[in-house]
Amino acid sequence: GVIIGVLTIKSQEATLNGVLTDFFNSYIKERSSEGLLGCFFDALLIFSFTPFLTFISGLSAVGLPIIIATPAIIGALTGMATGFLFFNYSLQGLCYSSLIVVPAVSIVVATLIKCCSEAIIMSTDIITCIGGYQNNLKQNNIKEYCLRFLVLFVPIIISALLNVICFKLFGNLFSFV
């Protein structure tokens, strides 16, 4: 996913680069003016979207394609973000990615992989139940599934907190912030 994202940015058109630059600049400007709590909730919302998507997909018999595609999509988006920063801001962009983006996203991706694993198991259980291979889906399975995702939300909270701390500590080291 990351390789696809970087290659996409490398072969981008000037129009796409302009749109991404405008988006990035407005995002950085807004984030710089926000307080700690606002930045935290923004990061939490962004980081919790894909685990929530996999949670919902895991409760569906047709959710497997979404569950399987989610890590690749996140990898591609992360690759596009880091590639964009590097190609437009050179070493400063690479340092920004290394100090602010990658630490939190690494935790999110590791958590997302575990979420996908749990969601695949649940979705497969639902498929076997619907197909008649299993008598019934136990209520405990669904409760355990929900509890596992609740526990997996803790690293997402930590990654949002880490992202805010890194942004507030290192963000002003970069001329584009």
Of 33-37, 83-87, 139-143, minimum mean pLDDT range: 139-143
pLDDT digits (tens, 9 = 90+) for 107-160: 999 999 999 999 999 999 888 888 776 666 676 688 999 999 999 999 999 999
- Enter the pTM of the model: 0.85
Pick the more confident residue, 15 or 65.
Answer: 65
Continuous segment of H or E residues that includes residue 145: helix 139-170
Tokens of 113: 């992989």
Q: Is the pLDDT of residue 12 over 70?
A: no
Indicate the average pLDDT of the chain. Answer: 87
Question: What is the per-residue pLDDT across 106-115, written as a single tens digit (0 to 9) for each?
Answer: 999 999 999 9
Token pair 């690494």 is found at 106
Of 69, 177, 78, 151, the residue nearest 116 (C-alpha): 69
